């Protein structure tokens, strides 16, 4: 049976949310430090047209519908939804009327024709930002979480045996930093093989930055 680091130290260190096993549901972007994917600027207007194609909606309802249809993975902010609604109104693709003091938007015939012509973009946008990524990568993220747990397990074993000291911890951290740098290099690699440029990040405390040749 593998060493259970969080069971051993659970009172002092709660089990992190990325530890296996993962639960089902929308992709847990918040575990990784951000709010998940965003629709392309051009796609958002089609998502909004799609949201108001069934019935008139106010801005908050539009955000809710998009969030639901993306499986909870994407919720556009008011700062992009309301200007886009106004743009659609100016383009003649949506019309607005007030109900109980709030603006309610409905699709026009021109807007419906525009939506029909770009229905494929709507489906592709929801596939990019929705649960498709989670379903494709769930097993890989589970395996990744198991490897992270194995790392902490080894540190826990060393601590329980009394063989963990400051020098060894620094060596472990240096090794981890090299591994993280390599992961960054892999993830920033574009499809054409080139790497995206990224700003230099300070080295963690106790880890010397690489020297320039």
Q: Percentage of the chain with pLDDT > 70? A: 65
Give the chain's mean pLDDT. Answer: 77
Query: In the chain, how many domains are there?
Result: 1
Give the mean pLDDT of 66-87. 88
How confident is the model over 85-101, as pLDDT tens digits? 999 999 999 999 998 88
The dihedral sign for the CA sequence 43, 27, 61, 77 = negative
Domain that holds residue 61: 41-130
178 located within any domain: no
Q: What pLDDT shows up at residue 148?
A: 87
Distance from C-alpha of 162 to C-alpha of 149, rounded to nearest angstrom: 20
33 located within any domain: no
Question: Which residue is it, tokens 């020297």?
Answer: 211
67 located within any domain: yes
Question: Which residues, at least 6 apart from 56, have a Cβ–Cβ distance to it below 8 Å?
Answer: 97, 104, 105, 106
**Domain CATH code at residue 69:** 1.10.10.10
**What is this structure's pTM?**
0.50
149 located within any domain: no
DSSP character at residue 15: P
Distance separating the N- and C-terminal Cα atoms of the chain: 46
141 located within any domain: no
Residue 24 clears pLDDT 50, i.e. is over it:
no
121 located within any domain: yes
* Alpha-carbon distances, residue 29 vs 32, 97, 110, 134 (angstroms): 6, 36, 36, 10
Q: What pLDDT shows up at residue 89?
A: 96
Q: How confident is residue 39, by pLDDT bands cut at 50, 70 and 90?
A: low
The neighbouring-strand residues paired with 134 are: none
89 located within any domain: yes
């Amino acid at each position: 049976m593998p060493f259970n680091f969080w069971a051993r130290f659970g009172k002092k260190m709660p089990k992190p949310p990325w530890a296996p096993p993962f639960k089902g549901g929308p992709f847990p972007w918040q575990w990784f430090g951000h709010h998940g994917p965003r629709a392309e600027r051009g796609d958002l207007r089609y998502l909004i047209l799609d949201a108001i194609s069934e019935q008139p909606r106010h801005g908050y309802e539009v955000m809710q519908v998009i969030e639901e249809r993306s499986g909870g993975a994407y919720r556009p902010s008011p700062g992009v939804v309301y200007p886009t609604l106004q743009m659609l109104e100016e383009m003649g693709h949506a019309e607005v009327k007030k109900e109980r003091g709030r603006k309610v938007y409905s699709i026009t015939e021109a807007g419906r024709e525009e939506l029909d012509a770009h229905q494929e973009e709507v489906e592709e946008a929801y596939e990019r930002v929705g649960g498709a990524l989670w379903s494709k990568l769930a097993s890989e993220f589970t395996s990744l979480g198991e490897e992270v747990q194995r790392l902490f397990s080894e540190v826990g074993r060393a601590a329980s045996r009394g063989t963990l000291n400051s020098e060894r911890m620094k060596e472990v951290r240096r090794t981890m930093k090299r591994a993280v740098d390599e992961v960054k290099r892999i993830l920033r690699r574009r499809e054409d093989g080139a790497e995206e440029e990224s700003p230099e990040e300070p080295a963690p405390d106790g880890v010397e930055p690489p020297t320039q040749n």
